[in-house]
Structure 1
């Protein structure tokens, strides 16, 4: 089939490349000419494992092309995926839908002029419930025969290609059998491989993404709240999480105590969900999401406070090494990165900070040029008074703590992700500390 993907950011670039990879003819559309030029050359605009190979294969096959012209999209196909961003509004925390509306408006006039008035516009962007219905009215004013469906993405950065090609579920919110049939045809190779297809209405499809992210955020913040209780009582949050996770009703995933969540999805999505509930007069129903957000934010400052306490109550004029800048491993994304928030707060309290990250250094430097950056771990840790492990890259698990002990001024480690082997580091002479864990030195 012929498809367009409007918006070639994180979701759109992955979706376009993967849809071409399974056999569709795809046209990617974006207003960013530099990004389009890079994608046309087979170069992803961000780091994502497996995307470079998938993109190159799709471009070389001739099934994937890119343009900056919305009118090209309208002429190219009658199925259009909208994958533009929905950033947080600074005033209310609600989702800013200007990019989604602009994408649909730009497409609508082209559909009328191209004769593709029976087009299907499929939203993949994360939006407040009710957006699809409102966009459908807006679209029909220009292209009366066009339909809007919602097909939310469930991509994990670092696993996005795998999540697209082997999804845990495909949710399709449609208003007609024709739209559902078209989406089933598009995803046929994935359905044939066993992917579940959940057919529903657009409002439910919109809510699936918001509710899923809110639940995951709740689970993460819950175990971090338990970490505070553990610190006050001498209990061990890792053992607590393991015991809780053995209950099949709870499960171990996302029960990982530590620095908390960040990135471009969970923080803004729970705020947008709470804002939309308040617009509907149902703010009390999800009031707990505000507390979830506050717990998550507090973990960052608690990590800084721990480092400060370990250095005698002051970070002023101390040297601090930070391992990790990306919000999670497998990504160069630093949007709302807990690691960078901690690094910057440590700097604000007077410390000299050197940051290392395997992939995100350039992006981190762009938003925090006031921090220092090192190309290797040893250089970042040189003469450090404390080392903060803030992003759980596998490279950091493989570090030699004995060799690193010869580089630092004092071998003190704060493992804010509870991802390193404390016994191994302690046997090499390190003092190891983490939130929610007994202080054993």
Structure 2
């Protein structure tokens, strides 16, 4: 098929490249000339394992290219994927749909043939219906243009796999042209459907709610175990063993039951806030009041970690702190709402000398916290440190030799913000270890 992907940020570039990998002819569309130039040269402007190779392979094969022309997009294909960002509005919880509306304003007047626009962006419920009416009003094709919704379920670090081998495909349709939309979707995703990927056709509102509901559930599960971690610390229990024990119950499961410094990134924090805002607009605000506490627990984990530094070191002022990790999760350079970077910034603002190392996220971190001391290696960040914080679960950090670092730091204290280290291994060589939600480790 011939497809366009409107927007070439994290979601759009990934979707465009992977659709080309499936054999479709794909045109990526964006208004950012610098971003387009990079992509057309085979460079991905963010880190996602395996994506750059796919972009380069499909550029060479002629199945993928990029443009800034909406006229070219309208002429090129009759199936379009809308994949622009929906950030949180400044000073509000609600989602900012400026980019979504801009795409429709640019494309709709140019559509002159039967067309399907599949929305992939995470939007407030009701957006698809509004955009459908808008595009039919402005397009010369009018009733022959359908806006459907095909939510994305990408995990950063696994986005290529999640696109090529999704665990489900959801298509939200309007009743009038549902057969035509479903046929188009089945053709786009024919290879995945041939592998028995679950395929669900819903109404528009349900499809829009699926993604935010999934994110709200995951955020709730993370904040639940972090709340239990606070109780474990007060009671002298071990949240790691507790999580393992309750995780054996298949109604609960072990995934997302790892206590730590909390969630971040470009999806979970802003999506649960936008979900609350939209529920309020619909008159269902009481249904989601629990998400406020989910958000509060998550933010509290950051200040809790700062307090642990104060407890371990006696004072933050003048303390040399090594922070290992700036991205909100491993295998990503995304520092949006990153708890790791937020903790580093809080420590510096309270008078600590903070050195930060991350394998991929340094450049993005510098744009947010330019005054932190960024280093090029674990050893450089830890040199003469009074305390080391592991705040992102990179394999480079979980496998580092604690014996080697003993000779690098000034004082062997480690705070395991992700409960990802082998506590006994560190204590055996003389480190004072502190995890989150577990008894305070004593120096061996």
1:348 equivalent in alignment to 2:344: no
Runs of 4+ in 1 over 2 A off after TM superposition: none
Return 5+ residue gaps in structure 1 as ranges: none
Deviation of the 1:434 alpha carbon:
1.4
Q: Could you say which residue in structure 2 is the equivalent of 1:138?
A: 134
Return 5+ residue gaps in structure 2 as ranges: none
Q: Write out aligned runs for 1:332-347 (5 A).
A: 332-347=333-348
Q: Could you say which residue in structure 1 is the equivalent of 2:116?
A: 120
Q: Could you say which residue in structure 1 is the equivalent of 2:102?
A: 102
Deviation of the 1:193 alpha carbon:
1.7
Which secondary structure does the structure 2 equivalent of 1:120 belong to? strand
Q: Write out aligned runs for 1:288-437 (5 A).
A: 288-312=290-314, 314-437=315-438
Which secondary structure does the structure 1 equivalent of 2:138 belong to? coil
Question: Hey, what's the Cα distance between the residues in 2 that align with 1:439 and 1:92?
Answer: 39
Question: Hey, what's the Cα distance between the residues in 2 that align with 1:324 and 1:303?
Answer: 14
Q: Write out aligned runs for 1:118-267 (5 A).
A: 118-143=114-139, 144=142, 145-175=144-174, 176-267=178-269
Question: Hey, what's the Cα distance between the residues in 2 that align with 1:89 and 1:388?
Answer: 32
Which secondary structure does the structure 2 equivalent of 1:48 belong to? coil
Question: Hey, what's the Cα distance between the residues in 2 that align with 1:190 and 1:141?
Answer: 34
Question: Hey, what's the Cα distance between the residues in 2 that align with 1:23 and 1:195?
Answer: 18
Which secondary structure does the structure 2 equivalent of 1:396 belong to? helix
Question: Hey, what's the Cα distance between the residues in 1 that align with 2:365 and 2:92?
Answer: 26
Which secondary structure does the structure 1 equivalent of 2:351 belong to? coil
Which secondary structure does the structure 2 equivalent of 1:5 belong to? strand
Question: Hey, what's the Cα distance between the residues in 2 that align with 1:194 and 1:346?
Answer: 50
Q: Could you say which residue in structure 1 is the equivalent of 2:55?
A: 55
Question: Hey, what's the Cα distance between the residues in 2 that align with 1:16 and 1:196?
Answer: 22
Alignment TM-score, normalising by the size of structure 1: 0.98
Question: Hey, what's the Cα distance between the residues in 2 that align with 1:25 and 1:181?
Answer: 18
Question: Hey, what's the Cα distance between the residues in 2 that align with 1:126 and 1:237?
Answer: 33
Question: Hey, what's the Cα distance between the residues in 2 that align with 1:123 and 1:433?
Answer: 45
Question: Hey, what's the Cα distance between the residues in 2 that align with 1:172 and 1:160?
Answer: 19
Question: Hey, what's the Cα distance between the residues in 2 that align with 1:344 and 1:91?
Answer: 21
TM-superposition CA deviations, 1:327-350 (whole Å, max 9, x none)? 000000111100000000000110
Deviation of the 1:397 alpha carbon:
1.2
Deviation of the 1:367 alpha carbon:
1.3
Question: Hey, what's the Cα distance between the residues in 2 that align with 1:93 and 1:286?
Answer: 13
Q: Write out aligned runs for 1:39-54 (5 A).
A: 39-54=39-54
Deviation of the 1:365 alpha carbon:
1.1
Deviation of the 1:440 alpha carbon:
2.6
Deviation of the 1:174 alpha carbon:
1.3
Deviation of the 1:71 alpha carbon:
1.3
Question: Hey, what's the Cα distance between the residues in 1 that align with 2:326 and 2:304?
Answer: 18
CA RMSD of aligned residues (A): 0.7
Deviation of the 1:91 alpha carbon:
2.7
TM-superposition CA deviations, 1:362-392 (whole Å, max 9, x none)? 1111211110011010010000000000000
Deviation of the 1:158 alpha carbon:
0.2
Which secondary structure does the structure 2 equivalent of 1:3 belong to? strand
Question: Hey, what's the Cα distance between the residues in 2 that align with 1:278 and 1:58?
Answer: 44
Q: Write out aligned runs for 1:17-36 (5 A).
A: 17-36=17-36
Which secondary structure does the structure 2 equivalent of 1:256 belong to? coil
TM-superposition CA deviations, 1:40-79 (whole Å, max 9, x none)? 0111110000101111111111010100111111111011
Which secondary structure does the structure 2 equivalent of 1:321 belong to? strand
Which secondary structure does the structure 1 equivalent of 2:28 belong to? strand
